[in-house]
Amino acid sequence: MKLRLHTIALSVVLALISGGAWPGTAGAQDSPSTAQSDALAEAAARGNAAAQYEYGHLYETGAEGITTDYEVAADWYRLAAEQDHLAAILALSTLLLQRDPPESIRLVLRAAELGSPEAQWRAGQVYSGRIFVPLVGVNLDREIALQWFERAVQQGHHLAQEALADLYTDSDDPSLYQEAFTLYQQAADGGAAWAALRLGIMYTIGEGVEENEAAAFGWFARLGSEYELNPDRFSAADLDVLGGLQSYYGLNFLGGDIERDLSAAREAFTIATQSMNAQLFQPFLHASFGRTAERILEKLETASAP
């Protein structure tokens, strides 16, 4: 029965291929068939955008016995994208990112205009410089980035909440810190580890919220268990600050055994501030890391004063 269904689906597809209208099915003929791939092949060949996307996804992932073929996947995604299927537009953009960056970003912007919060977040990432895609003809523009992030946030996109809060707090201007704090809370509620870290930092140094080390401890204590940080994401200067926070609070949220050690915290924060002062560019992933090192050093100095 499966073989018969697959033959029917392929006959429809191949008939349309002969007319030059549809992508091929190379690899499927030599692969085991399933009822799902049979049905998708037939629906995709008949022009169903959702089926074209799902069928392309089978070729991209090699699922359901289909032999992986990125070219065929892209062809099916492209057909669905022509019908404004948002997931297909984004999937095609991802496939084209390395081989055709301008087209990839054009697709992202198209999906963003069509209302995709994921695409709006990606567009904000490009315009803000949070991700670098060379030779795409898009100039960095903070205001445009803010607009895209804000549109994605309106649809509850957690990574956009995080990104918008980062832009609100990447300077010494505190006017938007309180709004950023709320955005980080929303992102952390959605499972964002970076947002949880930032909430701990904001409580530690009193940005956007009243300084509260007990509340900071509460957020930092959830790192490494409820939230997972990736150390590879951080620069050496970032890790100095994070190590200082671990020693300051006696918490282990990056790995290893940690006990509260204010001398070790002081040393780590001092190294971090030296890195900040010695380099012409920002050595930290986020500007607040430098402010954190300076503020805690002030606390330690005040505590040790006679």
Tens-place pLDDT, residues 48-79: 999 999 999 999 999 878 889 999 999 999 99
Range from 21-30, 77-86, 202-211 carrying the lowest mean pLDDT: 21-30
Taking the C-alpha atoms of residue 139 and residue 249, their distance in angstroms, rounded to an integer, is 41
CA 156 – CA 152 distance, rounded (Å): 7
Q: pLDDT tens across 259-271, in order?
A: 899 999 999 999 9
Paired strand residues for 227: 223
- For 2-29, what is the mean pLDDT? 36
Amino acid identity, residue 280? Answer: L
pLDDT digits (tens, 9 = 90+) for 85-137: 999 999 999 999 988 999 999 999 999 999 999 999 999 999 998 877 765 67
Burial of 158 (0-12, 13-18, 19+ CB in 10 A): buried
Using CA atoms, how far apart are residues 167 and 183, in angstroms rounded to an integer? 11
Q: How confident is the model at residue 1 (pLDDT cuts 50, 70, 90)?
A: very low
Tell me the C-alpha distance between 160 and 281, whole Å: 25
| Confidence at 24, pLDDT banded by 50, 70, 90 | very low
- Buried b / exposed e over 225-260, threshold 16 CB at 10 Å, is eebebeeeebeebbbbbbbbbbbbbebbbbeeebee
Tell me the C-alpha distance between 182 and 6, whole Å.
52
Q: What is the pLDDT of residues 153-211, one digit of tens each?
A: 999 999 999 999 999 998 878 999 999 999 999 999 999 999 999 999 999 999 999 99
CA angle in degrees (0–180, nearest 5) for 36-40-44: 180
pTM higher than 0.95 for the full model? no
- pLDDT for position 281: 64
Which tokens hold the place of 136?
């795409």
